Amino acid sequence: MTPLHVGGLTPLTATDYPGHLAAVVFCQGCPWRCAYCHNPHLISPRASAQIEWPAVMQFLARRVGLLDAVVFSGGEPTLQSGLAQALSEVKAMGFKCGLHTAGAYPQHLTPLLPLLDWVGFDIKASFADYEHITQVRGSGNSAEASLQALLASGVSYECRTTVDLQFFDSKKLIDLAQSLAASGVRHYVLQTCRNPHTLGSQYLTQVNEWLAELANTIALSFDTFVLRPA
């Protein structure tokens, strides 16, 4: 197989695959350049791998029966051609497979969906506004095609939006939620942007309070809605 380029590993998490104890494999490389990126060290696909894939498999072999799932995150995992084989190997060990993706490569995501048990799908903004966040032309079209493929697949998922006041006001956020609901999204999460320029300021409190005020309105559009304040 083409070796998976791994930029990091979280041995145990209860939050990255809701309702499951999981390990998280962080895949190196992302084609987008979001200003609030939580893992900027994973953006470059040419950075040196921190962990070799065989070492990850050795770790997982010791966690069989202790963990429920393995989540592939990033970066953007679907950038890597070795992801399908890695998913197959993990499933053969008895783990559920989760994926965190922003949908940058719909042509890669679609054939991966039969191997997945759950997807956390990042919605950056309305698809027409994607370029303001990703700094990549056409990124909204890719994300929209990926979302349509995910919804058609029947794979369990949550869609989630990271809210930074640089890009959202109340109208934009409500309009986004309503458009997602109209497209068939039934499970939605809002999470507060948290990056170095917001820490230690009143920003987080401001955004958390604002989102709490909007939550009841937005929740009406979905079967499940979760607010994750920073």
Q: How confident is the model at residue 202 (pLDDT cuts 50, 70, 90)?
A: confident
Residue 6 and residue 73 share a domain: yes
Residue 190 and residue 145 share a domain: no
Residue 140 and residue 33 share a domain: yes
Average pLDDT on 209-225 reads 93
Residue 142 and residue 169 share a domain: no
Residue 121 and residue 37 share a domain: yes
Q: pLDDT tens digits, residue range 111-135?
A: 999 999 999 999 999 999 999 999 9
List the domain range (segments joined by +) for residue 179: 162-230
For residue 17, the Cα-to-chain-centroid distance in whole angstroms is 10
Please say which residue of 137, 154, 171 terminates a domain.
Answer: 154
Q: Among 171, 79, 83, 92, which residue's Cα sits nearest to residue 126?
A: 171
Indicate the number of domains in the chain.
Answer: 2
Please say which residue of 123, 154, 185 terminates a domain.
Answer: 154
The contacts of residue 133 (CB under 8 Å, 6+ apart) are: 34, 35, 124, 125, 167
Residue 167 and residue 131 share a domain: no
Rounded CA-CA distance 99/10 in Å is: 14
Residue 207 and residue 148 share a domain: no
Mean pLDDT value across the chain: 93
Q: How confident is the model at residue 192 (pLDDT cuts 50, 70, 90)?
A: confident
Residue 171 and residue 115 share a domain: no
pTM greater than 0.85 (yes/no): yes
Q: Which domain CATH number covers 4? A: 3.20.20.70
Please say which residue of 114, 135, 154 terminates a domain.
Answer: 154
pLDDT at 195 > cutoff 80: no
